[in-house]
Structure 1
Amino acid sequence: MGKWRKVGGVVCDKKMPIKLKIMIYGTVIRPVVMDGSETWALKGKEEVKLERTEMRMLRWIMGMSLLERVENDEIRSRAGLVKMTQVIRESRLRWYGHVLGMGDEEGVTRAWDEPVRGRTSRGSQRLRWRDKEKEDMERRALVEDDDFDRGQWRRRIRQPTP
């Protein structure tokens, strides 16, 4: 949110062209918000918070209020952006492709294959990155063997921009 405050004067200025404001949002603000997102295991509530934050910023940029009742998908299509959670899923899959391509002697792959030892706590268990990765792969109908053809892997994980 610190970057938003620094560029907020420019982004919320009604005299600035919307294209420029969206470009600033896409190159300055969004990457800061999503920094390190390829390793996040977001719960549903956290995804909703991210979406809400993004939509609030986009509404400020576009000069729209909630009272105008413009749908979120309409605002995103005007801005030419996809949902932040979809971009996070894509970056997670991209990182997973790198992990799958690493050799067995790499520390990441050894840690990936190492079983978790110890007792589990009561109640539902914490969400792991590995669980989110399986969910993302099921959404895109991917299997681990697909990573050997890097071009096909990229095409299948890429989210089309509106």
Structure 2
Amino acid sequence: MVNGALHSFMSSRKVSNKARLAVHEEGVLVPTLMYGSETWVWQKKHESRINAVEMRALRNMIGVKLSDRIRNSEIRKRCGLKEDVVTKIEKGMLRWFGHVERMNEERLTKKVYKASVNESVGRGRPRRTFLDQIRDVLKKDQVKSTLNHRACMKGIMKVDEAKQVCKDCSKWKELVSAYPYGKEA
């Protein structure tokens, strides 16, 4: 995963865990994994691969082997991490969705976002769109609807509701920062 001098730095027992974690989080690995992730349309296999890369680096950092059979949540807890890279990517997607929905209709980014490409339809499953990805993130039952204020009636936020809610920047920012709803930090 990490080559050369960085590998020796990350696996060295002389370097503090705090320094290694800083290199992991802000320095090299997480920013590299997350580069451009706000606009990705991904499949389950991509999520799995990103998780695998992150966990491999974390295990290497704390000196745990895969054969030790320690749960990923336990490894994250030992490293002092609150959330995985996939959750950070999903937060970034929701944040970007809010930006694009609030954009002026004349901006090129908004035009590309709303454009439908008229190409011949191939065989098999239709290609996923960015809105499909947002729908899946919202559907994970981690972003609660704001329409019904009764706690027992709260459901999952739908894309149409998200488009309305994200017009209010502060409210959307509050929802995204609380993501994932119900998970312990």
Per the TM alignment, residue 128 of structure 1 is displaced from its structure 2 partner at its CA by: 2.4
CA distance in 1, matches of 2:12, 2:25: 17
RMSD: 1.8
Alignment of 1:1-162 (within 5 A): 4-5=2-3, 6-28=5-27, 29-81=29-81, 82-139=83-140, 140-141=143-144, 142=157, 143-158=162-177, 159=179, 162=185
Runs (4+) of structure 1 exceeding 4 A deviation are: none
Calculate the TM-score normalised by the size of structure 2: 0.79
Percent of aligned positions that are identical: 28
Q: Which has the higher contact order (CA 8 A, sep 6+)?
A: 1
Greater fraction of residues in helix: 1
Aligned match of 2:151: none
Per the TM alignment, residue 119 of structure 1 is displaced from its structure 2 partner at its CA by: 2.4
Instruction: Tell me if structure 2 keeps the 8 A contact 1:43–1:127.
Output: no
Runs of at least 5 residues in structure 2 that lack an aligned partner in the other structure: 145-156
Runs of at least 5 residues in structure 1 that lack an aligned partner in the other structure: none
- 1:23 partner SS: helix
Per the TM alignment, residue 111 of structure 1 is displaced from its structure 2 partner at its CA by: 2.2
CA distance in 1, matches of 2:166, 2:21: 33
- 1:75 partner SS: helix
Per the TM alignment, residue 88 of structure 1 is displaced from its structure 2 partner at its CA by: 0.6
CA distance in 1, matches of 2:19, 2:110: 42
CA distance in 2, matches of 1:127, 1:68: 38
- Report the count of equivalent residues: 160
Per the TM alignment, residue 87 of structure 1 is displaced from its structure 2 partner at its CA by: 0.8
CA distance in 2, matches of 1:49, 1:83: 13
